[in-house]
Chain A
């Protein structure tokens, strides 16, 4: 191995270490929200970070966090159907709803950008996120009925009503 390549590999290792020390927690949180299972989230994040490590010098001036996030969502979107996510904070949501809720509300990706990244129309993304929001609120109301205000329609009825 040449001297220049050794220097480059050392720099890659150092920069990658710094990046994961800073952004690892947030990325792992997103992965945990998606998969619902800490072990599966770790596997997903390891695969994403390995890809980022290999592509570290290819992304010249781009944000590595943005890259890792896109890769995470892409990998989760192409999960096989028999490895459906279970549990976690977003239990009872489908994989697509989990993906859209995490992208829109946890990571704060804009609606149009979410739609473009998933290859869906923006209206569809809006409908899915509204449905997922209603489901989450209904679950929350079921768990904590004392927080339900008297007279206010519950999330469950709102989710069912058109």
Chain B
């Protein structure tokens, strides 16, 4: 909110302004290995999801071909009314 320099804030900044710690040499390589693991899991998950979608599409097509109603259904001859016919 206040862009004006504040003496107390400057003191805290000075307190935190120490030299950076030494980064271990193998930290980058460890992070890269873990990152590759994340990538591999992500790829496997996406592959599985796409396979599921493909299987669902194929199953839908097969079921539609097998059970397509290509003849008029024999039920309800119908007289264009919704009430039951008077006997």
Contacts and interface: CB of A to CB of B under 8 A. Distances in A.
Given A16-B28, A24-B28, A122-B1, A89 B35 contact: no
A120 interface: no
B49 interface: no
Contact of B31 (A53, A89, A102): A53
A54 B12 contact: no
Contacts of B66: none
A42 B20 CA distance: 13
B54 interface: no
Contact of B12 (A24, A50, A105): A105
A25 B39 contact: no
Interface string A35-54: 00010011001110111111
Given A46-B34, A54-B39, A133-B12, A89 B28 contact: no
Interface residues of A, number: 38
A30 to B, nearest CB: 9
A28 interface: yes
Residue of A33, A50, A56, A102 with most partner-chain B CB within 10 A:
A50
A54 B38 contact: yes
Nearest to A33: B16
A1 B43 CA distance: 13
Which secondary structure dominates where chain A touches chain B?
helix
A41 B42 CA distance: 26
25 contacts: A13-B32, A24-B28, A25-B20, A25-B23, A28-B20, A33-B16, A45-B27, A46-B34, A49-B32, A49-B35, A50-B37, A53-B32, A53-B39, A54-B36, A101-B16, A106-B16, A112-B1, A122-B1, A133-B11, A136-B12, A136-B15, A137-B8, A137-B11, A137-B12, A140-B15
Closest 5 pairs (CB-CB, A-B) = A53-B35, A49-B31, A50-B34, A25-B20, A54-B38
Given A24-B28, A25-B23, A136-B15, 11 more contacts: A20-B31, A24-B23, A28-B20, A32-B21, A46-B27, A52-B35, A89-B16, A112-B1, A133-B11, A137-B8, A137-B12
